[in-house]
Structure 1
Amino acid sequence: MVERTCHHCSEVIASIRTCASCNMVFYCSESCLTHHNADKAGCSKMSYYSQLTPPLLSLPFTFAEETCSETFDDRALINFLKRQGVFNLGLWVRETPLSVLGFLDVLPFGELETVFDPYVLPIEGLALENHPIAPLEAALASWEGYYKWRGFPLSSPIAILLHHVMTVYHILQSSGVASQPESVVLLAGVEKEADLLITFLELSSLLPGKTISVIMVGPSISAKISGNCFKHDNLTVSRYCMTLQEYLRSNHQSCSVDVIICLNAGLAAYTSWRDAIVEIVKRQIRCYITDFCLLSLDMSQQALLSLTLQLESALNHMNMNSDLTSRSSENLSVKLSEPVINPFRCPVRKFCESARFPWFSNAFICELIFC
């Protein structure tokens, strides 16, 4: 039996109540439910979120019915990984919720890369060590297409490890950056992606003939590997223990970034994004963010609206260029584009204790729009 918490007060629910209007959120009492019912706009949003549940759950994998279930919690994930023979092995350590078993994940991000058998799965591991025999005839736009190209059965869970790099590939393709002969991609807020460096080698197979530089930055990256650079064919990957704004400021003269990608950004959850957004606006660099769910993106949109009101003073304070600082605050705007469902989202649903709407890693993609 999975544990549910109240959407209003966050208390563990003994007797579950569900909103009759949106049927999306759980409550512990009539009092908490009354608070939700009074928020007509919030309830309406929940109803809208529910409409996107079917397309989000539409994944081609034979295990999707299990991993996309509403009750698929961390213990269910552990059992799934054990049946797949990958539990707490190789790169799968970063997909294993060890806290459920009472273990604390103390290994800093970026120090897991020197594993003997990173993928654990023998067929997939052997295939990913080599370029595919057949080159791509067209850009990939689905997991089905990728699996067919790579020769993987749809029963393989390898998409769980590859969804980060495939999301980056999809953004590069849809933004047009992939058509450039050379491109510099800045991944911001990096955590476990720093350990998945070997999976990013797939970009050299996906984009042959292109020179690609991937720069990973994040304050949680281990200082031991900060500044390390890895080269493979047409791909270079480097990792730095610093925030996005710190990297842009320290490389302001030599920095030539084509696109910034913030995976599972959660702009509203971290105040450090405020300074990062200011730096992005200053340089007018194209930026894409992904997130787990529409609720998080709605909160991010509100956070950006608040930032817009402060943007002029922030730019002036940080000695930004005159083109931006001379403009009135009412002409400054930072917002997110309409979110689109990422075809290369993770096929494992993140369990939500207080609501029914599904969360998936890198579920939605938005572009940061500034003018």
Structure 2
Amino acid sequence: MDMECSWKGRGTRCTGPSRRRCGRCGAVAYCSVSHQISHWSEHKEECERLEQHMKQIDVLNEFPFAFSQEATVEVCEKRETRCSFLSKRGIHQVGMWLYECPCGSSVTSMDCSRYVSGWDLPDELCPCKEPVSPISTHLCSWKEYYEWRCIPLHSPVALLLHWPLTVYHATQVAGVGSWASEISKQLKIHYVGPEKELLQLAVFAELHALFPGVHVHIELIGPAVPESRDGEKINLCQYAHCLKPDCFCKSPNDNLWDITETLGVTLRLRRGFYHERYRDIAKDLCPDLIIAPNAGIAAYSSWAPTVELIKEINVPAIFSDYCEEACHLGARCISSVTGSPLTLPIQLNPFRQPMVVEDSALLLPCYSNCFLYGM
């Protein structure tokens, strides 16, 4: 797996491909001995930790799907790409799948004004209807979810369903889910920092099946929300549609996006940083839980006032990130702001996206929503 030199842009130019890996952790690479020596003063603090992370590669890559090897090891080794994976399944640059590969990353600058309501898959490969049987236990793995929804393990829908399933799992580990405690008929979530999800909102309709009889209300707050959609309310009254023309998912109302208030899943979009918008939002809806997917807390200074706010309002908050190291750095930032340790230690998310991130910053495999931790 090729990657950039860890000392790139710090002074002297790189001399060529980064084929020299750290002999201890194996997680970082360099173009030359001189760049490796220059980086050691920074890298030595993280080296032992990354070495332990690298020992977990097999666990990170462990998924029950028929395509698991293809979507993990083969992508890491550049024998497969996200584009080729999607092309083989007829979903490359189609609908919600458009944003799952580099081809869609620049499309109309992430055009969040478009509603995309279908899976672009046959009905037997996607959850386009009510489940055959109500959920009766706490789901703990992708295998359990696929079996419950009667979806074959060669279906790629987990690549998009990791958004709502991570929400579902976060409620369980935070102790506010229906299997952890008796919740009311309404579950209120503040979802901080959405980006790609804004182009895949239809997948959140699956929360209707995961929380039967509960009205799930999610406020999606972040700077990526377009000004034109600030305050927009969306009620997901049906599941995302399949390709079958006469499927039950097309009736009685052919419009997934409905403006009527129904029992199910309601989304509201809010533009801006959470700490700037919270007071106005909380007038209408105080949260039971705060969720921040792929948060990157250590990478953005704007997180500090948000973390201070979360501590002040004392609401459970669950963060996710692409790898354990990002979570470690984020947790350290949270502790420095709050003066307190995490209430939920860093742990692997069983509902992480089952396709590795291409060209990640480390040789360690990275996945969207890979690890969770909380305060």
Question: Which residue identity does 1:282 align to in structure 2?
Answer: E
Deviation at 1:85, TM superposition (A): 0.5
Aligned in 2, Cα 1:256/1:74: closer, same or farther, shift over 3 Å? farther
Distance 2:170 2:216 in 1: 14
Deviation at 1:283, TM superposition (A): 0.8
Conserved in 1, the CA contact under 8 Å of 2:221 and 2:273?
A: yes
Q: What pairs with 1:102-121 in structure 2 (closer than 5 Å)? A: 104-108=106-110, 110-114=112-116, 118-121=118-121
Conserved in 1, the CA contact under 8 Å of 2:320 and 2:372?
A: yes
Aligned in 2, Cα 1:176/1:159: closer, same or farther, shift over 3 Å? same
Q: Does 1:89 align with 2:89?
A: no
Aligned in 2, Cα 1:168/1:190: closer, same or farther, shift over 3 Å? same
Corresponding residue for residue 24 of structure 2: 21
Q: Does 1:359 align with 2:361?
A: no
Conserved in 2, the CA contact under 8 Å of 1:214 and 1:238?
A: yes
Q: What pairs with 1:45-194 in structure 2 (closer than 5 Å)? A: 45-69=49-73, 71=76, 76-98=81-103, 104-108=106-110, 110-114=112-116, 118-123=118-123, 127-179=126-178, 180-181=183-184, 182-194=186-198
Counterpart of 2:350 in 1: which secondary structure? coil
Aligned in 2, Cα 1:155/1:271: closer, same or farther, shift over 3 Å? same
Conserved in 2, the CA contact under 8 Å of 1:185 and 1:260?
A: yes
| CA-to-aligned-CA distance 1:188-217 (integer Å, 9 cap, x gap) | 001121222211111111110122211111
Q: Which of 340, 347, 355 is the equivalent residue of 1:348?
A: 355
Deviation at 1:333, TM superposition (A): 2.9
Aligned in 2, Cα 1:22/1:111: closer, same or farther, shift over 3 Å? same
Q: Which of 275, 280, 299 is the equivalent residue of 1:245?
A: 275
Conserved in 1, the CA contact under 8 Å of 2:4 and 2:18?
A: no
| CA-to-aligned-CA distance 1:272-316 (integer Å, 9 cap, x gap) | 1112112211111110000001221122133234434xxxxxxxx
Question: Which residue identity does 2:120 align to in structure 1?
Answer: V
Q: What pairs with 1:31-50 in structure 2 (closer than 5 Å)? A: 31-37=34-40, 39-50=43-54
Distance 2:111 2:230 in 1: 10
Counterpart of 1:110 in 2: which secondary structure? coil
| CA-to-aligned-CA distance 1:195-252 (integer Å, 9 cap, x gap) | 2221111111111012221111111112222222222333222112222112212234
Q: Which of 304, 327, 335 is the equivalent residue of 2:334?
A: 304
Aligned in 2, Cα 1:264/1:72: closer, same or farther, shift over 3 Å? farther
Conserved in 1, the CA contact under 8 Å of 2:15 and 2:32?
A: no
Question: Which residue identity does 1:6 align to in structure 2?
Answer: C
Distance 1:3 1:153 in 2: 33
Deviation at 1:156, TM superposition (A): 1.0
Question: Which residue identity does 2:112 align to in structure 1?
Answer: G
Conserved in 2, the CA contact under 8 Å of 1:13 and 1:27?
A: no
Counterpart of 2:229 in 1: which secondary structure? coil
Distance 1:112 1:164 in 2: 18
Deviation at 1:353, TM superposition (A): 5.3
Which blocks of at least 5 consecutive residues in structure 1 are unaligned? 309-331
Identity of aligned residues (%): 28
Deviation at 1:362, TM superposition (A): 0.2
Aligned in 2, Cα 1:199/1:208: closer, same or farther, shift over 3 Å? same
Aligned in 2, Cα 1:119/1:254: closer, same or farther, shift over 3 Å? closer
Q: Which of 264, 269, 286 is the equivalent residue of 1:256?
A: 286
Q: 71-80 or 133-142, which moves further after superposition?
A: 71-80
Conserved in 1, the CA contact under 8 Å of 2:190 and 2:219?
A: yes
Aligned residue pairs total 338
Counterpart of 2:191 in 1: which secondary structure? strand
Aligned in 2, Cα 1:192/1:23: closer, same or farther, shift over 3 Å? closer
Distance 1:41 1:168 in 2: 33
TM-score normalised by the chain length of structure 2: 0.83
Distance 1:28 1:227 in 2: 48
Aligned in 2, Cα 1:109/1:243: closer, same or farther, shift over 3 Å? farther
Counterpart of 1:338 in 2: which secondary structure? strand
Corresponding residue for residue 339 of structure 1: 346
Distance 2:15 2:121 in 1: 38
Quote the RMSD (CA, aligned, Å). 2.3
Deviation at 1:186, TM superposition (A): 0.8
Q: Which of 200, 205, 216 is the equivalent residue of 1:196?
A: 200
Counterpart of 1:213 in 2: which secondary structure? strand
Distance 1:290 1:73 in 2: 26
| CA-to-aligned-CA distance 1:124-154 (integer Å, 9 cap, x gap) | 57x5331012112211111001111111111
Deviation at 1:53, TM superposition (A): 1.3
Conserved in 2, the CA contact under 8 Å of 1:73 and 1:350?
A: no
Deviation at 1:334, TM superposition (A): 6.0
